[in-house]
Structure formats: C-alpha cells, structure tokens
Amino acid sequence: MECNNIEYEIMDNLLLDIRENKYKFDEKLPSDNELAERYNVPRIKVRNIYKKIEQMGYIYSLQGRGRFLKKRGSSIELILSGNESFSKKLKRGGVNLDTINICAERIPYNKSIWDELHASKDINVYKIGRLRCVDKEPLAIHFSYVSQKVFKDISREGRKITSMFDYYKKKGFINYSTEKSMLEVLYPTSKERKLLDCGELVPLLKLKSNCKDEDTDIILEYTEIIYRGDKFIYKI
C-alpha cells in the first residue's frame, strides 16, 4: 500500500495516540467514518491504514464492532551478549519460560553454514529448532546448526534438546565463548508469522552467532535466533 502525505499523517497521529497511552487496552478506536470525515478522505484509505496498524501488532478488529487497542505485555529485558543460555537469562529474571523443540533434522549442504562450523563438505550437519514461549506466548525461534563430527549422537538425541548449553555440558564442553555476533532487522515470513503468532509488519531481530569451545577451539555450533522485536528490550 502506497501512502500519500495525508495517509502518513493519519497513521502517524494514530500511532502517536497509541504510544502516548491515549487509549486503554480493549478501548475502541475512532471509526472509519469518523476518521474519513475528520481528514476528508475515502473510508477505504482509513481501512487500509487500520489494516497496516493491525499487522504491526497494535490493534485488533471485531467484525461489525470496530478496532480496539491490543493488550501488550511488558517488554522483557534481554542481554544479547555473553555465554549464558537464553533460558537461564530469562529464568534468572523471573520470566515464565517454556521451550518447545520444533525440529531436529539433517540439512542439505549449504556452504555458508558449513564454513561457519569449519566443517568439510562430507560432514553431516543437523539443525535443531526450538520455539521460546513466555506465559504461553511465542516470542523467539532458535536454530542451532551442529556438526555430527562433533556430536556423534545428534541424529538420535536432537529431538530431545531444549537447551544447547545444557547439551554441551553433558558432552563435556564446559568452557565456551561466542566468537562473533551479527544483527539484522527483518520482517517475518509466513512460516515465522505462524510460529510466532504475529502480523506481517511486526519487526523481527535476527541474531547470528557461533559458539566455540575454549579448550579445544572446536566450533560447537552456528546459531540463528529470531526475536519478536515488539517483545524485548535489548542490551548489547
């Protein structure tokens, strides 16, 4: 949807009102007719603006009743750096966290992933996926890529893993660190929207990193973590 100046003005005013707490949770927002008359624009333009704001996760609609402000939980503070697991970081902060293992599968050759793992092309690599939920709301997806040369039983044990750091310890790796981290902002794919239960305009933060065993210099994993951008306050 392309916006002209008046449409940007309408959207900006609505977003400012929401962010400045003009409306309470579940309170009805101005109707299509009201905004169309106020700004002298067709109702279809107002509907399109509301649709976009709904996709951003701010409001919800009820057929025949209008649009209402969506209840948003308190933002969770998350430290992106460090060698402590995601689970421990959140649980230490008193957050009610659940982790669901969503996949453990061997993946086809991908040069960039194999290079991150310092693995030769003939080595099998497995992807371990976990969905992180706080108070039963999905907030993050973790994908860990590991070499079967390092973790020989990963094909059998992968489906049981909910914490990679705990898995390392069981395998004797207790002294590890992150070599590098890269961040990017993106919008969700249809699969990510389904997993995270979010609209297509909710921003996501993607963190790419690896984990190295300090005692042996072995790369334990390459990781891609996708966070809902509207649910966390990030410390770097």
Q: What is the predicted pLDDT for the residue at 104?
A: 98
Q: Which of 69, 95, 115 is the last residue of a domain?
A: 69
Domain count, the chain: 2
If you count them, how many residues does the chain have? 236
170 and 193 belong to one structural domain: yes
82 and 16 belong to one structural domain: no
Lowest-confidence segment of 1-5, 100-104, 161-165 by average pLDDT: 1-5
Give the torsion through C-alpha atoms of 37, 38, 40, 45, to 10 deg.
-80
Percent of the chain residues topping a pLDDT of 70? 89
37 and 87 belong to one structural domain: no
Give the torsion through C-alpha atoms of 143, 147, 152, 154, to 10 deg.
10
Q: Which of 69, 88, 120 is the last residue of a domain?
A: 69
118 and 208 belong to one structural domain: yes
37 and 121 belong to one structural domain: no
- The better pLDDT of the pair 48, 84 is held by 48
- The answer to whether the CB of 133 falls within 8 A of the CB of 96 is no
d(CA 155, CA 163): 16
pLDDT of residue 6 exceeding 60: yes
| DSSP string computed for 68-121 | EEPP-PPPEEEE-SSSS-HHHHHHHTT--EEEEEEEEEE----HHHHHHTT--T
Q: What is the predicted pLDDT for the residue at 125?
A: 99
- The answer to whether the CB of 182 falls within 8 A of the CB of 209 is yes
41 and 94 belong to one structural domain: no
- The answer to whether the CB of 179 falls within 8 A of the CB of 210 is yes
d(CA 225, CA 216): 25
Domain containing residue 135: 76-235
199 and 102 belong to one structural domain: yes
24: Cα within 13 Å, side-chain hemisphere: 1
- With the C-alpha atoms ordered 17, 18, 21, 24, is the resulting torsion angle positive or negative? positive
33 and 59 belong to one structural domain: yes
pLDDT (tens digit, 9 = 90+) per residue, 61-76? Answer: 999 899 999 887 656 7
216 and 112 belong to one structural domain: yes
The amino acid present at 102, given as its one-letter code, is I
pLDDT (tens digit, 9 = 90+) per residue, 75-97? Answer: 677 766 656 666 666 666 677 88
List the CATH number of the domain containing 134.
3.40.1410.10
- The answer to whether the CB of 78 falls within 8 A of the CB of 233 is yes
65 and 119 belong to one structural domain: no
When pLDDT is cut at 50, 70 and 90, the band that residue 1 belongs to is: very low
Instruction: Tell if the pTM clears 0.85, that is, is over it.
Output: no
pLDDT of residue 211 exceeding 90: yes
